[in-house]
Amino acid sequence: MSNHPTTFLNLPAMVWLRAQRQPDRWAVHAEGASWCWNELATRIESAALALQRLDVQTGDRLTIVSETSADALVLMLAAQRIGAWPALLNARVPAAELRRLASCVDSRRIILALDGSPDAKTHARQLAATPLAVPGLGHLASVTFSDGAVPELPAHDPALDVALLAFTSGTSGKPKAVMISHAGLMNMGRVVGAARGTLPRDTVEVTAPLSHAMGLSSVVSALIFGAAVRLRPRMSPRELAKAIAAGEVQQASMVPAAWARLLDHIAREELSLDGHSLRMLVSGGAPLAPELKARVERAFGRPLINAYGMTECAPLARSRPSEFLAPWSVGRPEATVEVRIVDGAGRDLPRGETGEILARGPGVMLGYYRNAEATREVLSATGWFSTGDLGHWLPDGDFAVVGRRKEMIIRSGFNVYPAEVEAAISGHPAVIHAAVVGRPAALGDESIVAYVQPRRGHPATDALRDTLAAHVRARLAGYKCPSRWIFVEAMPMGDTGKILKRALPEPDVSAAEATAAVS
């Protein structure tokens, strides 16, 4: 293979450049291994050769199944190195889902990174995958998935050539493969790294899967700015708290639920954070309750940034490093991103009025792979992406996200946004998680159902229900207050820590169900 990995600058090329400029600096820390930049570059080259020996060609789709690991990162970059299209899958997906997603992108091959992942090993056995040896990497397995897969022709343009396929289902539940260009991926890294002030001496904690925009943006920004990444297959509050307390982590980006778990562990173990060097704290992937933001900032003495984005457009916005953050505010559009908030006719709305959030910029996807109809529904000819989120401009020029268009609840003729109600419920100290959904009611109306996971020590009783109902009534208009309260032992969570509302149990009308009157 040639000495210079690419004809234009992309992520493998950035690693190659870093390997020349800072060969002995740390690039990757993972379970049982740490690699400097030169070692990372060497492993990418070895993996690229191994893929070519498997007849993976430019334009082939390659499904990579793994936990968040160094091997998965190398395989992704190696695929990009030879012009293939990597599609990253968390190993915890069920077998049927794995096959469905690999079929969605007509994947030629599936590569599985087995170390530290019992799920990946199970998938490998079920697929009858054979061992794949790559110098410097752990145990891998490979299987041909579609002999008839036809390679896509390259455009030889970083703004048009696909660097990555990322899966999303949105609110429909049907998987779609988002095509992210090399230019879009590089823009993500540059914008995020600059906004975070990423430095080569930093270590960036990565707990979200590489298949998710949060994990991906942390890794890509570190690669571009020369920082090290610490890859953890699963978020362990104990391990993360220990690393932070020892001053080993300078940046951490997590969903709100992960921040809450980390704080609970720190409080329970009475850990000292005097030695921490955590400089950049970011929350994303779900609404950030003001109370949780305040707790994190008290614990670490640094502002918690609220970031907003999605698979189809990342990054999109982030809050400024201020102690005050208006509820549901996601700050201002990121550099290179334009944002509009429009009504149903596509007309721009004035400040304070709620409408759909549109975004445009180099981070917007190329489209959904082989799904022109779904692409047309969300991506205009002029490049505006319809997020499906509802929001409004705030007086200070920031904007707030108040819910999903398809999740909006119509109650007595009024619009109710679940995020607002969830934030009010989550503000009570007895609550660890809250999810609000609308359910059909009489005469075409909708009832508001609140699912609550109480904190340890707060039993799910009528008294707690009444306390929470009073807490919400004191903060929201009557029509926004839940008409039903359902306590759950644990919320159904996705692999990024986001609550899966479609997996919540349907409320029944038994005597055991907690129901509150609405004023």
- In single-letter form, the type of residue at position 2 comes to S
CA–CA distance, 138 with 122 (Å, rounded to integer): 16
Q: Could you tell me the mean pLDDT of each successive run of 10 residues in the chain, 519 residues long?
A: 56 96 97 93 98 97 96 98 96 90 96 96 97 97 96 94 88 79 96 96 93 93 97 91 96 90 94 95 86 91 94 94 78 96 95 95 97 96 95 93 83 80 90 91 81 93 95 88 94 79 74 34
Nearest of 90, 238, 112, 52 to residue 166 by alpha carbon: 90
Tell me 397's DSSP state. Answer: S
Record the tokens describing residue 207, joined without a space: 């707990």
Q: Please report how many Cα atoms fall inside a 13 Å half-sphere around the Cα of residue 132, on the Cβ side.
A: 29
Predicted TM-score (pTM) of this structure: 0.85
Q: What is the pLDDT of residue 254?
A: 92
Sign of CA dihedral 249, 253, 258, 259: positive
Q: What is the pLDDT of residue 33?
A: 85
CA–CA distance, 501 with 480 (Å, rounded to integer): 18
CA 250, chain centre distance (Å): 20
pLDDT digits (tens, 9 = 90+) for 7-28: 458 999 999 999 999 999 999 9
Fold held by 197-311: Rossmann fold (3.40.50)
CATH tag for 408-515 (out of 3.30.300.30, 3.40.50.450, 3.30.210.10, 1.10.3470.10): 3.30.300.30
* Neighbour tally for 254: CB within 10 Å: 27
Q: What is the pLDDT of residue 288?
A: 83
Q: What is the pLDDT of residue 4?
A: 46
For the chain, residues classed under CATH 3.40.50.980 are 43-154, 197-311
pLDDT digits (tens, 9 = 90+) for 221-267: 999 999 999 999 888 999 999 999 999 999 999 988 889 899 999 99
Q: Which helix (H) or strand (E) holds 261?
A: helix 256-269
Q: Which CATH architecture is the domain 43-154 placed in? A: 3-Layer(aba) Sandwich (3.40)
Helices (H) and strands (E) in the chain, counts: 13, 27
Record the tokens describing residue 13, joined without a space: 């090329």
Q: What is the pLDDT of residue 518?
A: 31
Dihedral (Cα; 117, 123, 129, 132), 10-degree rounding: -20
CA distances from 263 to 217, 239, 240, 258 (A): 24, 13, 11, 9
DSSP strands (E only) in 129-175: 130-132, 140-144, 162-168
Record the tokens describing residue 136, joined without a space: 């410097």
Question: Across the strands, what pairs with 379?
Answer: 385
Tokens 């660890």 found at: 432
For the chain, residues classed under CATH 3.30.300.30 are 408-515
Q: Are the C-beta atoms of residues 229 and 218 closer than 8 Å to each other?
A: yes
Q: What is the pLDDT of residue 6?
A: 45
Q: How far apart are the first and last CA of the chain?
A: 71
Cα 124-130-132 angle, rounded to 5 deg: 105
pLDDT digits (tens, 9 = 90+) for 450-495: 999 999 899 999 999 999 999 999 888 888 999 999 999 999 987 6
Q: What is the pLDDT of residue 483?
A: 92
